């Protein structure tokens, strides 16, 4: 209850600041529309915004599941194999050194303008934090636990699945929370590069038609949706960290 009260207080403060800036600067609505106008536009266009929000949410959800799953499997594989860490470690770092905007047109060219190019963008952004955080946890298993497992004659797979993975779950949880923050970025960037659906597309369309109030409504919808995704991932991470 206190958390909800704090969130409500922050939201009201930001809305008051927004309205204050509009009053003090006298900016025209096509530059900075007041909060009430954005709220009215959101309500009038709620069906349109909801339709595009569902597309973006689908891209994020599928990308999150695929990216987190691939990241977890890769981390376990790298923890198993020193040679894999030696060979793939630089590749993972190099993949993150490439600007995401540079990859988006290529993925659109390869996968088309549908959902999969946006899902691929989300996967690329989600994959690295999950892999690195989970791998870091797997490599930091307490030495005493490993010594005891070796003394008892446990095989490497048993040590991995019964000792190292459970000990690394808090690190996996941290990776999942980071992935939840980054996931909407990949989907929206993909929609900006080439799409006919999604909140990113709707923002570009509204901007091109000088409908700034609709652009703000779509942007705020994306922001609220991102917060809800993060809260859901945080709840999942807490549960994973406790198990």
The reply to whether 197 falls in a domain is yes
In angstroms, the CA 133 to CA 181 distance is: 15
* The total number of structural domains that make up the chain: 1
The pair of three-digit structure tokens given for residue 66, joined into one six-digit string: 């695929």
- Residue 101: its pLDDT value, please? 74
Q: Please tell me the predicted confidence (pLDDT) of residue 25.
A: 87
Inside any domain, residue 47: yes
DSSP, residue by residue, 59-83: HHHHHHHHHHHHHHHHHHHHHH-HH
Residue 84 located in a structural domain:
yes
Q: What is residue 242's predicted lDDT score, i.e. its pLDDT?
A: 62
**Residue 48 belongs to some domain of the structure:** yes
120: in domain: yes
CA 213 to chain centre: 25
Q: Which domain holds residue 160?
A: 41-242
Per-residue pLDDT of the chain (243 residues; tens, 9 = 90+): 566 677 678 878 888 898 888 888 888 888 889 999 999 999 999 999 999 999 999 999 999 999 999 999 999 999 988 888 888 878 777 777 777 777 888 888 888 888 898 999 999 889 988 999 999 999 888 877 777 777 787 778 888 888 899 889 889 988 998 898 888 988 898 898 888 899 999 999 998 888 999 999 999 999 999 888 888 888 877 776 665
pLDDT of 1 reads: 58
CATH number of residue 91's parent domain:
1.10.3720.10
Q: Which of 211, 203, 216, 242 is nearest to 55 (CA)?
A: 203
pLDDT at 72: 94
Give the pLDDT score at 99. Answer: 75
Domain-located, residue 159: yes
* 14 part of a folded domain: no
Residue 5 lies inside a defined structural domain of this protein = no
For tokens 């942007």, the residue is 219
């Amino acid at each position: 209850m206190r958390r909800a009260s704090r969130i409500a207080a922050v939201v009201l403060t930001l809305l008051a600041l927004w309205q204050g800036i509009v009053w003090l600067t006298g900016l025209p609505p096509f530059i900075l529309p007041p909060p009430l106008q954005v709220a009215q536009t959101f309500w009038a266009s709620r069906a349109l915004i909801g339709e595009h929000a569902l597309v973006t949410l689908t891209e994020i959800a599928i990308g999150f599941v695929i990216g987190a799953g691939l990241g977890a499997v890769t981390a376990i594989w790298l923890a198993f194999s020193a040679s894999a860490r030696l060979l793939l470690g630089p590749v993972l770092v190099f993949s993150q050194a490439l600007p995401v905007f540079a990859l988006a047109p290529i993925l659109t060219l390869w996968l088309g303008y549908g959902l999969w190019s946006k899902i691929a963008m989300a996967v690329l952004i989600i994959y690295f934090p999950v892999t690195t955080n989970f791998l870091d946890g797997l490599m930091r298993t307490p030495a005493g636990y490993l010594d005891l497992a070796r003394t008892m004659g446990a095989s490497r797979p048993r040590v991995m699945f019964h000792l190292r993975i459970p000990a690394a779950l808090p690190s996996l949880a941290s990776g999942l929370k980071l992935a939840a923050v980054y996931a909407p970025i990949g989907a929206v960037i993909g929609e900006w590069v080439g799409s006919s659906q999604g909140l990113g597309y709707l923002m570009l369309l509204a901007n091109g038609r000088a409908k700034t109030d609709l652009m703000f409504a779509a942007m705020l919808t994306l922001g609220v949706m991102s917060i809800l995704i993060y809260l859901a991932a945080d709840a999942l991470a807490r549960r994973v960290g406790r198990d």
